Structure 1
Amino acid sequence: MRHAPGLIVPPIYAPIPPAIHPRHTVIEVQTAAWAERFQLGSEDLRARLLSHNIGAFSARILPEGREEVVSLLADFVLWLFAVDDGCCEEGAPGTSPGQLAGISHRLLRVAQSPAAPLLLDDPLAQGLRDLSRRVSRYGTVGQTARWIDSLREYFFAVVWEAAHRGEGTVPSLNDYTLMRLYDGATTVVFPLLEMGHGYELSAHERDHPAVRAAAEMASFIITWDNDILSHHKESRGTGYYLNVLRVLQQEYAMTSEQALAVAIDQRDRVMCLFLRLWKSLLDRASPQLRLYLQSLGSFIRGSQDWGITSQRYTTPEDPAALPTRFRDTPTNDSRQPLDIPAISWWWGLLPTDPEGQHDARHSAPPHTQLAHTTA
């Protein structure tokens, strides 16, 4: 069956250079073996997930990280996709927030206490037990606790999404933006960024409003990029889908082409703000904070590189019109805050210049000063 042509996604602004861990092919093989060991999802779901190059994705997030943590991250990302695809999007719990909340709480207990005799015959729980034990092995007590807390945030957000999926409703842009910071599963990766380099960021740095905002901006950029690149796959499906382009279409009564242009405009403005804040933070950052900020940048760029190459989004059976390269300049570098109350406070962290504008081309990201293995 031939489909009508989908949206043509133009090259996206990507000022952060690419990088990938030199052991990415080995990590890919290890993750495939891990998925088979725990029999995650149906055979068909596993086959699909293993064709998505998730090991390479994780290798792009931590291009200079400890191999054992990059491998842990790859297994965890695959586990998250097994939950998202098999349980939330394609399974019955995905339309029943009460049922999904019960499943999520039991899984959360497994993560907190791997020895607890819960869900002993459940592949997702068994995989999570292994992940939790490895997080405790490679991370500190504090990092493990933050990983569990971020997992709770993720579960809470997917339950919220299940309510919309069950009712067939589309949230407001403000609500979607807020929940997308968590249901995109970016925050659950952040503790592993520290573990990957063997340090622990001090609480007074991690919890500083500007550092927290930088992490939230990274989440916004990553999830907006994901929505842009995954729109073809999601909109071609037969079930309900929730995506920023759909939210924008409803919020402003616009076409999908107009929504695409607005979404790109929004992510470019946040990217420019992220770069300015990044540069400001580096001026007074500890060595640990510098590594953390670098990893946030790698996470952003790694998501972009993976997004335009993975079969998850290129969908060869019904090819998506995705870009094969990136652009060097933003479509909009305005310093004016986005009209989204949940995140507008980000723009108050840095002074605005008299014109209220910023030329991102004249502010090379600090990330480029660091050595990387390029893809």
Structure 2
Amino acid sequence: MGPELTVPPIFSPIPPAIHPRHAAIDAQTSAWAETIGIGTDELRARLVRHDIGTFSAMILPEGRDEVVSLLSDFVLWLFGVDDGYCEESDLGHRPGELIAVLHRLLRIAQNPETPLLAHDPLAVGLRDLRARVSRYGTHGQTARWVDALREYFFSVVWEADHRRAGTVPDLNDYTLMRLYDGATTVVLPLLEMAHGYELQPHERDSPATRAAAEMASFIITWDNDLLSHHKESRGPGYWLNVIRVLEHHHGLGPGQALATAVAQRDRVMCRYLRLNDSLMATASPQLRRYLTSLAHFIRGAQDWGISSLRYTTPHDPAQLPSSFSDTPTDDRDVPLDIPVVAWWWGLPLAEGAPAVPLLEAAPA
């Protein structure tokens, strides 16, 4: 059992928002999980209590109902993979076997008619999700969604190898792994689908937009590590978290590791805000909409993280904040000592870019 830590209010300058149909979406996702038969009865019963529809509604507060519901079902499916395959089964300790199963799932995402895993509920669920992604997205968005699923699968196998060996990656490797095993990148195409547009490649694939998306992933996953530490450290098996990484490789005590992780995410949040302002100054309406959705994703993950039973664990209450801070603990505009993300600070910012409200209404 890990140490008892009190997570302080985290810096969040992004205002909250939620889709008006969040309760109905949550109920629909619970029904979908039962119909598909995701996971064991125990796992499924646990997942449907986690307000995953509410999380989706916070990410896409103004999105099309059908895509908000799709995202909700998809997030529950991802937890079915992460909890059921990776963390709570023997597969999670056998990376060779795990990658074989995940590769079959990837083939189903690429070609749903492929006769593989016909009676596996996760495969059945993935076929349904893939059909809906194709219905609401373009061919390009569907392809990017499949590519991001590959990134996610690749990273959870890397994590499984550490779980098998009982090793803890260093901070640089952990950061690289965490940018993808948190499944944030696989959500990004749905941000576009939810508002009925497609970013042009020169905007979506520009270094600055890519950096904004990576920073959002970093903030979301670091926040998740802070808020899930209690749950994970009290579990019976192997667990991996930035606090554990900092303790193991940097010789920090639990409180020092917590403070260091908070400072890291605060510094990235401040850089993200500066880059967001710079991008907004010259962005197309579609890019403005995308950046707005990224901000909703960050704040939605925070609001859900401090309130969901997944992390509050009432049977063994986690010491989580009930509010947020207006002040970062570290606002220095200098790179973190993490080589794989240091490039974020090398991007030029627009000179004299006017400050744009972070969640200014953007055309769909």
Give the TM-score normalised by the residue count of structure 2: 0.97
Instruction: Determine the structure 2 residue equivalent to 1:75.
Output: 73
Counterpart selection for 1:85 from 72, 83, 89: 83
1:12 partner SS:
coil
Q: Which residue of 2 aligns with 1:258?
A: 256
Report what 1:294 is aligned to: 292
Following superposition of structure 1 onto structure 2, how do residues 315-354 of structure 1 map, counting pairs within 5 Å? 315-350=313-348
Contact 2:216/2:298 (CA < 8 Å) preserved in 1? yes
- For the residues of structure 1 that align with 2:131 and 2:359, how far apart are their CA atoms? 35
Superposed CA RMSD in Å reads 1.5
Q: 1:87: how far off?
A: 0.6
Q: Which runs of 5+ in 2 are unaligned?
A: none
Quick check: 1:234–1:241 contact (8 Å CA) kept in 2?
yes
Instruction: State the partner residue of 2:131.
Output: 133
For residues 12-64 of structure 1, the C-alpha deviation after alignment (integer angstroms, 9 at most, x for no partner) is 00100000000000101100010000000001000100010000000000000
Q: Runs of at least 4 residues of structure 1 off by over 4 A? A: none
1:367 shift after superposition: 2.2
Match in the other structure for 1:145:
143
Q: Distance in 2 between matches of 1:246 and 1:121?
A: 38
For the residues of structure 2 that align with 1:213 and 1:203, how far apart are their CA atoms? 15
The verdict on how the C-alpha distance between 1:365 and 1:78 changes in structure 2, with shifts beyond 3 A counting, is farther
Counterpart AA for 1:164:
H
CA distance in 2 between counterparts of 1:133 and 1:211 reads 28
Q: Secondary structure at the match of 2:236?
A: coil
Single out whichever of 279-288 and 5-14 deviates more from structure 2.
5-14
CA distance in 1, matches of 2:5, 2:166: 23
Do the aligned residues in 1 keep the contact of 2:175 with 2:340 (CA within 8 Å)?
yes
Q: What SS does structure 2 have at the residue aligned with 1:8?
A: coil
> Is the 8 Å Cα contact of residues 275 and 349 (structure 2) preserved in structure 1?
no
Kindly state the Cα deviation for residue 368 of structure 1 after the two structures are TM-superposed.
4.0
Task: Assess, with a 3 A threshold, how the Cα gap between structure 1 residues 365 and 272 changes in structure 2: closer, same or farther.
Answer: farther
Look up the equivalent residue of 1:11 and give its one-letter code.
P
Distance 2:283 2:275 in 1: 12
- Aligned mates of 1:254, 1:282 — CA distance in 2: 39
Q: What is the match of residue 201 of structure 2?
A: 203
Q: How many residues align?
A: 360
The corresponding residue for 1:124 is 122
Contact in 2 for aligned 1:9/1:323 (Cα 8 Å): yes
Deviation for aligned residue 1:220:
0.1
Give the distance between the partners of 1:327 and 1:172, measured in 2 at CA.
Answer: 29
The question of 1:25 aligning with 2:16 is answered no
In the alignment, the residues of structure 1 paired with residue 308 and residue 229 of structure 2 have an alpha-carbon distance, to the nearest angstrom, of: 14
Q: Where does residue 369 of structure 1 map in the other structure?
A: 360
Any stretches of 5+ residues in structure 1 without a counterpart?
354-362
What CA deviation, in whole Å up to 9, does each residue of 1:163-221 have, x standing for no partner? 00000000010000011100000000000000000000001100000000000000000
Could you report, residue by residue, the CA deviation over 1:52-111 in whole angstroms, capped at 9, with x for unpaired residues? 000000000000000000000000000000000011000111011100100010000111
